[in-house]
Amino acid sequence: MITKLGHIMIPVDDCAAAVEWYTTVLGFEKRIADTMEESGHHWAIVGPPDPKGPELILFACRSDFVFEQKPELRQHECLHHVMFETDDCQEEVTRLSAAGAKITEEPAESDWGIQAAFRDPFGNEFTLLEKYTANTAGRSKLPFAVSRHATMKEKHAP
């Protein structure tokens, strides 16, 4: 039986710069940083202050090395989805933007809460979610009631 999510690997170009960004901008803690002797790849583990939560492995590697070792991964080279939960999506977007994160989707209503998206300096995109609770479902906290579904339909209209 699976009991918890352990970690998620995030590809980065520069491990030291990634640790700096994730600890400064997202407020994560650096737990471990090391270099693999065999390949020389740098990696670090960061995570939210709660030590029981999942961790991110920031991994700076040459994709050609990884794909030589595991060619079946090539088809999924850029496929990942990571969602961070927050108590106040709008406030967190404002904070992240001021800290230098590139906001790719402004906060918008969805069926499950208010969500937004941002990108780190290494091209990885993340989603923020302020989950609806029994007390907040159906009531917008946003100054404007943007529907994510309407926005997505507009983006993907022929």
Per-domain boundaries in the chain: 7-76, 83-155
For a pLDDT cut of 90, what percent of the chain falls above it? 32
Question: For residue range 71-94, what is the model confidence (pLDDT) as tens digits?
Answer: 555 444 544 668 888 889 999 999
Q: Determine how many CB atoms are found less than 10 A away from the CB of residue 105.
A: 19
Sheet holding 102-109, edge to edge: 83-85, 125-131, 113-119, 102-109
CATH 3.30.70.260 fits 83-155, yes or no: no
pLDDT band at 153 (very low <50, low <70, confident <90, very high): very low
Nearest by Cα to 42 from 79, 25, 67, 17: 17
Q: What's the pLDDT band for 102 if we cut at 50, 70, 90?
A: very high
Separation of alpha carbons 110 and 113, rounded Å: 5
Which pTM does this prediction carry? Answer: 0.64
Q: Please tell me the class of the 7-76 domain.
A: alpha beta
Same fold, 7-76 and 83-155: yes
